[in-house]
Amino acid sequence: MSRWHLERAIFLLGFEGPRSHGYAGPGLALDALVEQVRIENEDDPTAPYPVFRLDPDEIALIAEADIVGMYQRGVHPNLIRAFAGTWRIDYMAEYRRAGL
């Protein structure tokens, strides 16, 4: 839908904190994040961030931790690096494997 929503989700899941700790992977963390933001918006219509509008392919990028796909979609490299570090992904190895 919007790269802003995709990058916001990657940003929020790309730091060691309550949104990433305790989850078996980024897909489960994303599900919890989307639900939390939805509830915040229901409770307070003036909440600072709108609910996430992610296409299925954008959800898959995060859930599958598709670093190369994020790069190819134009996600900022610093966001990718932080996300990869949080989820213990060797992003340089992923780039090399894809020929980037």
**Cβ contact 34:52 at 8 Å:** yes
pLDDT of amino acid 1: 53
- Give the global pTM: 0.83
List Cβ neighbours of 7 (8 Å cut-off, separation of 6 or more). 75, 76, 79
Look at the chain and report how many structural domains it folds into.
1
Residues of the domain holding 93: 3-97
CB contact burial 13-41 (16+ within 10 A = b; e otherwise): bbeeeebbeebeebbebbebbeeebeeee
- Residue-level pLDDT, tens digit, the chain, 100 residues: 578 888 988 988 888 666 777 788 898 898 888 888 888 877 877 877 777 788 899 989 999 999 999 999 999 999 999 999 989 999 999 999 999 8
pLDDT in tens, 69-94: 999 999 999 999 999 998 999 999 99
